[in-house]
Amino acid sequence: EVQLVESGGGVVRPGGSLRLSCAASGFTFDDYGMSWVRQAPGKGLEWVSGINWNGDSPHYADSVKGRFTISRDNAKNSLYLQMNSLRAEDTAFYYCALYIDHVGFEYWGQGTLVTVSS
Amino acid sequence: EIVMTQSPATLSVSPGERATLSCRASQSVSSKLVWYQQKPGQAPRLLIYGASTRATGIPARFSGSGSGTEFTLTISSLQSEDFAVYYCQQYNKWPLTFGGGTKVEIK
């Protein structure tokens, strides 16, 4: 059974940093690209960042480029999102999602809430 | 980036009726279009990929069509469990982008 478990969310002040983690199990982690997708409370889905199977091709939404860094550790079956210079508009649930080529996001975690507030 | 626009924002439908949801891309995405369903408090669920292929376990009452810039998700006979928010998403070009969603509510 595929499982994606996010952690690392919390409350942070504007300008602060936070690192999210996603622990994956139930599939061959280094066979797949992974992404982070966020959803502000009561709002729609926004793709944030994605990374290919070996980590050498990251992509970012314009809204986070230069502030967020995605990475992965295939030996630990883990995905990460380093978030710097956080803003109030970054407040959201952050989902880790398994991306299958030509299919989409077939598996999702349950999300971790990041709140940016003074 | 490719902008995805969904309409209507809210669709009021009676159980057993047909629902038709639209998604428009600001430029061609070929058939690289996915539909998701999301219920309150849950992560999204993949329904349709490649614009028209149902994902594993998705009932036949869900169907997708379209290519290029115009896409449609049809739910042929709404069941109680289908009342939810539906999102389209393109995977033709980075950055990946989602539509704003259509909420299907009980009439």
Contact check, Cβ <8 Å, B95/A61? yes
Q: Cβ of A95 under 8 Å from any chain B Cβ?
A: yes
Which site among B91, B93, B97 would you substitute to test the A interface, given the most A Cβ atoms closer than 10 Å to its Cβ?
B91
Predicted confidence band of residue A29 (pLDDT cuts 50, 70, 90): very high
Return d(Cα B45, Cα B58) in angstroms, integer: 10
- The shortest CB-CB distance from A59 to any of B36, B95, B99 is to B95
| CA proximity to B47, closest of A108, A105, A47, A101 | A105
- How confident is the model over B7-34, as pLDDT tens digits? 999 999 999 999 999 999 999 999 999 9
Tens-digit pLDDT profile for residues B34-83 = 999 999 999 999 999 999 999 999 999 999 999 999 999 999 999 999 99
Which pLDDT band holds residue A89 (cuts at 50, 70, 90)? very high
Q: Considering only A48-52, A78-82, A97-101, which range has the smallest mean pLDDT? A: A97-101
A104 vs B1, B89, B101: nearest CB: B89
Range 65-84 of B in CB contact (< 8 A) with A: none
CB-based contact B49 A46, cutoff 8 Å: no
B34 touches chain A (CB under 8 A): yes
Tokens 């002040």, located at residue = A13
Distances (CA, A) of A7 to A2, A52, A81: 17, 21, 10
Q: A35 vs B96: CB contact, 8 Å cut-off? A: yes
